[in-house]
Amino acid sequence: MNRQEVATLLGAASAVDPKVPQPDPDVLDMWAAILDDVPAEVGADAVREHYRHHAETVMPADIVEHWRAVRRDATERRHRAELTARARQLDENGLRAIRDGITRVSAALAAARGIDPEHAEADARRAFLAVPCPYCRAQPGDRCTGPGGRPLTKTTAHPARLDAAFAAMTNQGNQ
User: Does residue 65 register a pLDDT over 90?
Assistant: yes
User: Does residue 80 register a pLDDT over 70?
Assistant: yes
Model-level pTM?
A: 0.51
User: Does residue 78 register a pLDDT over 80?
Assistant: yes
What percentage of the chain exceeds 90 in pLDDT?
55
- Amino acid (1-letter code) at residue 83: L
Res. 93 pLDDT band, cuts 50 70 90:
low
Q: What is the pLDDT at residue 95? A: 66
Q: What is the mean pLDDT of the chain?
A: 86
- pLDDT (tens digit, 9 = 90+) per residue, 19-55? 999 889 999 999 999 999 999 999 999 999 999 999 9
The answer to whether 128 and 161 have CB atoms below 8 angstroms apart is yes
What mean pLDDT comes out for the span 117-123? 68
Exposure string of 92-124, with b = 16+ CB inside 10 Å and e = fewer, is eeeeeeeeeeeeeeebeebeeeeeeeeebeeee
